[in-house]
Structure 1
Amino acid sequence: MKLKGLGVSAGVAVGPARVWHNTPLRVPQRSLLLEQIEAELERLDQALAVTRDELRSLTERLRTDVSAEVAAIFEAHAEMLNDPALVDEVQAQIRSLQVNAEHALAEVVGHYTAALRTLEDEYMRQRAADLEDVAQRVLRHLEGRDATHQLETPVIILADDLTPSDTAQFPAGMVLGFATAGGGATSHTAILARALGIPAIVGLGDGVWQAQEGTIVTLDGDTGVLDLAPSAAEIAAFERKQLEQQQRQASERTAAQAPAITADGVRVEVLANIALPGGCSDALRWGAEGIGLFRTEFLFLDRREPPGEEEQYLAYRQVVEHMQGRRVLIRTADIGGDKNIPYLLVEQEPNPFLGWRGSRLLWGMAPLLQTQMRALLRASAHGPLGIMFPMISGLNDLRALRRLLEEVRETLHTERTPVGQPAIGVMIEVPSAALCAEQLARECDFFSIGTNDLAQYTLACDRTNPRVAHLLDPLHPAVLRLIAQTIRAGRAAGIHVGMCGELAADLSAVPILVGLGLQELSVSPASIPAVKRVIGQLTLARAQGIADAALELETAEEVRALAAATLQTLTASPIDEVAHGA
């Protein structure tokens, strides 16, 4: 029985199924005598303290061993436990209702999460799941249960969905793959699986419950297919693929420290996308040649007020200095859409992706934007830094932002504050920006194509809506032609053109993107070795031929078939160590 879902972490896996039922802990209600209340409050405080220590230790381990982006998930969990309103309410329930801490915590968290799930904003709905995850940790400590997951042999985990805690706490090396009935491309399971380098499929539906515990299944994170009853021949084929995958990954990691150069000597820069300054270490470890996207909005999330100028300046300076002269492109905060910031008191909109978001929102909150511009200009005095603006729809947007940036620069000069000369660029993620790329290219220093939004706006598909997820393909001919037009306009004007959207990490798309003339691909750190490998197996002439053929096709399915066939021929070839510069 084969199930089709969404592949969110590349690679293949074969092994025994472990059907994971993550049922909530049973929460008993016990009545307390008046003289027992203080002892119960103390028991709650101890469980909270142990949970905070556990989260602190987990965050530090993940930041060192995995990535800063993954660690940030658990930093946010720790912040939830530090919310005095939440803790005060639980304590009040214990006192007023004279009930045990478990019951009070479950009641309070239940009210919070129910309210969050009524909101339209996807980010806030995700906070409900995070809060439940944190509460489960506290409940385990209150009941004296071990939160770690015991696995005796490597398995493929099948579940309805997995919490961040579940995913992070499986023993290292014991999970071959993840397959979940629910979830999406931006779920925590997807983020963690990619960071850990574990093949994963989400959105498989209830068919996962047809799996028999311990039976051998195969999982293909590239195609999104989970086979619950593979034949002996199919199992043997997957075992060969799995071994080849492990050998290739080892070679890729070594080769990734060298520049990405095609077999005929054309260099394509491969940079990293990061969300926090600590991500620089991950980027360099995986072979990044710079930072192609620093998502500054993560500095604004999960707090009660925006970061001040000094905090931002230190963060941006840390990234610039850590990268030691390599390119660093920092995006102004892309707030709005699926990233709502409660303390900004932005009114709920019926279509937030089409409303007040990105540069539009920052422009409407000029002090917030000016503070970020001051911090960025100050940080640019410490090394090569590019400032890029999101959600640009045309020349007026760019000109207005550049004028404001110059005003901020003049103020800093008046204050005798050192500033550098940052490059100024725009995100090409709105169709009108791609169509006006010639005009934009004359007034900025670089383009960075954001395919996640460019695809959703071009195809009229909300990328957070699973009902239309199958329609959202950035290799759709319409999107591909906008990408090609943007690259042509940028190169004609002599400016740098890169891509930081998820398409840049799609190995089957890399030949087309190189053939279209992209000079830079910016991807998650763990994706860098594989992207460099594909580039090293290409010649520019072959890539251009593939890109030309793709532009003539009529449907996304046809482009995908061409891309898949191309990748298959490259994967079948041995890695050319010379092409990698080894």
Structure 2
Amino acid sequence: MLAAAVAGRTASGQPAQEAAALKAAIEDATAEIVKLIGTLEGEVADILEFQVAMLEDDALTEGAYDAISAGISADHAWRSALDAEITGYRSADDEYFRARAADLVDIRDRVLARLSGADATAKIAGGAIVAGDDISPSTFLAADWTRGGAIALAAGSPSSHVAMLARARGAPMVVGLGPLSWIGSPPSLALVDGDAGIVVFDPEPETRRLFERRLAAANAAQAAADAGRLEPACTADGRQIAVLLNVAAPEDLASLDPAICDGIGLVRTEFLFETSRGLPDEETQYRVYRDILVWARGKPVTIRTLDAGGDKPIAGLTVDGESNPFLGLRGIRLSLARPEVFRMQLRALCRAAVHGTLKVMLPMVAVPSELDRAAEILDTEFRDLQAKGIACARPPLGIMVEVPAAALRAADFAAAFYSIGSNDLTQYTMAAARDIGAVADLNDTGNLAVLALIAGTVEAGQKRGVEVSLCGDAAADTHLTAALLATGLTTLSVSPIAVARLKAAIAKVGS
């Protein structure tokens, strides 16, 4: 069983000293996280950035300092204030906020540990099955999941930061099991099926045999898929399908052979804009883009311009307090509103383009004028670089199709290519977010309305003679592979961990 334990401390009895102790503990905890962020990139760093932002929010700490002024010790004041916040997050109507409760628990225990001098991070042995109410990002990151293991949670959320980490590392995880109650000591054995969302504690021998048989079959299927990882993707009836990679940060590529893919269909650039590091300059961006293109060895690489806003706020750049940030100033809208940031990114991309086959993609485009304005800015920056004698190339400019308006009128856009973002296209078409449990069943890319928009975009691309790909999460859902290919798609882009499984699923289509 997973249980957090934080040692107690002896209070000074002096409000001023207690306030100073809490301030120092918060600063130490923040510095600890920032130091850890310096060793990470991409999704993991983004998760810890969220914790830094919370610790730097005066609204979070105000209640604790008020309690200290009234004579409460620093540790009790902090715990009380954070527990109230945690309760509020856990009871929120919005699943997004409920999913962040584990981060607040992590923050609470980090600061309490700094106050008491204890280690708040539970230690998990390699290969263990973790059972508990929830698990913090710190605890998850402290474990070695390459040795196996699984997670079974009474509460938790499929859209929590830990759930994202578990999916990225292939750690089976089941949430929302309800109270984990048993008589006497905890179970000695548990079976966790992350795909089916099933956990069996202390299984009967026959249940265990059936599970082991299914596990062996799944492992054999994965082994067969892995064997074809370097082979081209081809359907049973002979259609060639391009399989590209989605890349969240450069380290995703460190141990990969370019031979596993036909190129990179999506490079997310948000990792460069993490708040603790400040906005990146042109040279920093250029070097990262260049290195990715060099890795690809001439294969096409599609880099998406900054997709900030919505659920990806960036301090000092995105707009605070929007009533509905998913329908606000995000993606290309934000880039056009902050042209100084946009121009710098486009300059870095033009410079990097000489090192490979680069394509640049604009997120959240809704109307052709947005693409036209972006193209004008790109042309201006390209000409300026040329005039200064700086090595550069003008990359083709395409759009993400994730707004139904863009899908319905795809042929109106003078895009060099289209890339369908199935996550947002599904969300906006069905008016249902996948992280809100009550409507999650509506958030289905396999819905005929969503598939019709995908098919229409493919048709527009075929008429214009430009490539259409799909880079959203639906590309990795092998239950949807046949339906997606039936729309006419011939290019799918997925995370590296999903490549082998997708190629195996493609091979079965048309059989």
Question: Common fold, TM-score beyond 0.5?
Answer: yes
Which residue of structure 2 lines up, in the alignment, with residue 213 of structure 1? Answer: 186
Q: 1:102 to 1:532 in 2, by over 3 A?
A: same
Match status 1:526 vs 2:507: no
Q: Is the 1:150–1:171 contact (alpha carbons within 8 Å) kept by the matching residues of 2?
A: no
Q: Given the superposition, is the C-alpha separation of residues 142 and 81 from structure 1 closer, same or farther in structure 2, using an over 3 Å criterion?
A: farther
SS in 2 for 1:157: strand
> Is residue 2:437 matched to residue 1:466?
yes
**Which residue number in structure 2 is paired with residue 485 of structure 1?**
456
DSSP 3-state at the match of 2:400: strand
| CA deviation vs aligned residue, 1:410-459 (integer Å, no higher than 9, x gap) | 2222333222131211111111111112223xx12211111111111111
* 1:517 counterpart = 2:498: no
Displacement after TM superposition at 1:85 (Å) = 8.8
Q: Following TM superposition, by how much is the alpha carbon of 1:398 offset from its aligned partner in structure 2, in angstroms?
A: 1.9
- Does residue 258 of structure 2 align to residue 277 of structure 1? no
Instruction: Label 1:120 to 1:330 Cα distance change in 2 as closer, same or farther (>3 A).
Output: farther
Structure 1: distance between partners of 2:439 and 2:27: 46
Q: Given the alignment, which residue of 205, 221, 227 partners 1:248?
A: 221
Q: Structure 1 residue 506: deviation in Å?
A: 0.5
Task: Give a deviation string over 1:87-122, Cα, whole Å, max 9, x none.
Answer: x999x99x9999987568658877998999999998
Any conservation in 1 of the 2:399–2:418 contact (CA below 8 Å)? yes
- Partner secondary structure for residue 293 of structure 1: strand
SS in structure 2 of the partner of residue 467 of structure 1:
helix
2:137 alignment partner, one of 158, 164, 186: 164
The 1:231/1:371 distance shift into structure 2, 3 A limit, reads same
2:411, 2:461 within 8 Å by CA — same for their partners in 1?
Answer: yes
The equivalent position to 2:166 in structure 1, one of 175, 188, 193, is 193
Partner of 1:362: 335
In structure 2, relative to structure 1, the CA distance for the partners of 1:69 and 1:247 (3 Å cut) is: farther
1:290 is aligned to 263
> CA offset at residue 368 of structure 1?
2.0
Residues 492 and 319 (structure 1), Cα distance of their counterparts in 2 relative to 1, 3 Å cut: same
Contact 2:418 2:469 (C-alpha < 8 Å) held by counterparts: yes
SS at match of 2:149: strand
2:354 alignment counterpart? 381
- Is the CA contact (8 Å cut-off) linking 2:8 and 2:116 kept in structure 1? no
Following the alignment from structure 2 to structure 1, what is the Cα–Cα distance between the partners of residues 406 and 172?
35
Aligned match of 2:420 in 441, 449, 452?
A: 449
2:369 aligns to what? 396
Deviation at 1:400, TM superposition (A): 2.3
Show the counterpart of 1:55: 36
Matched, 1:435 2:408: yes
**Map 1:1-12 → 2, pairs under 5 A:** none
| Partner Cα distance (2:150, 2:259) in 1 | 21
Match of 2:324 among 344, 351, 356: 351
Distance in 2, Cα, partners of 1:152 & 1:118: 32
- Asked if 1 retains the 8 angstrom alpha-carbon contact of 2:46 and 2:271, the reply is no
The answer on 1:31 being equivalent to 2:12 is yes
Structure-2 change in CA distance of 1:413 and 1:121 (3 Å):
farther
Structure 1 stretch displaced more, 503-512 or 40-49:
40-49
Whether contact under 8 Å (1:164, 1:189) holds in the other structure is yes
- Is the 2:318–2:334 Cα contact (8 Å) retained in structure 1? no
Whichever residue aligns with residue 426 of structure 1, its letter is: I
Tell me: CA distance 1:28–1:285, structure 2 relative to 1, closer, same or farther (3 Å): farther
Tell me which amino acid in the other structure corresponds to 1:498. S
**Distance in 1 between the 2:450 and 2:199 partners?**
29
Contact kept in structure 1, 2:246 and 2:496, CA below 8 Å: yes
SS at match of 1:329: strand
1:497 and 2:487 correspond: no
Aligned to 1:258: 231
Q: Alignment identity in percent?
A: 35
Code of the residue aligned with 2:453 in structure 1: it is L
CA RMSD of aligned residues (A): 4.2
Amino acid at match of 1:514: L
1:493, distance to aligned residue in structure 2 (A): 2.1
Q: Is the 8 A contact 1:431 1:454 kept in 2?
A: yes
> Using a 3 Å threshold, how does the CA distance of structure 1 residues 152 and 393 change in structure 2: closer, same or farther?
closer
Q: For the residues of structure 2 that align with 1:46 and 1:451, how far apart are their CA atoms? A: 40
**1:180 matched residue in structure 2:** 153
- Structure 2 residue runs of 5 or longer lacking an equivalent are none
TM-score normalised per structure 1 = 0.74
Q: CA deviation at 1:337?
A: 1.3
Q: 2: CA distance between counterparts of 1:191 and 1:84?
A: 24
Tell me what 1:338 maps to: 311
Structure-2 change in CA distance of 1:231 and 1:96 (3 Å)? closer
Q: Could you tell which deviates more after superposition, 286-295 or 480-489? A: 286-295
1:550 aligned residue = none
Q: How far apart are the structure 2 equivalents of 1:72 and 1:444?
A: 33
Give the drift of 1:266. Answer: 3.1
C-alpha contact 2:358 2:396 (8 A) present in aligned 1: yes
Between Structure 1 and Structure 2, how many residues are aligned? 510
Label 1:425 to 1:112 Cα distance change in 2 as closer, same or farther (>3 A). Answer: same
Query: Letter of the aligned partner of 1:348 in structure 2?
Result: G
Q: Which residue number in structure 2 is paired with residue 329 of structure 1?
A: 302
3-state SS of paired residue (2:240): coil
Q: Which residue of 1 aligns with 2:378?
A: 405
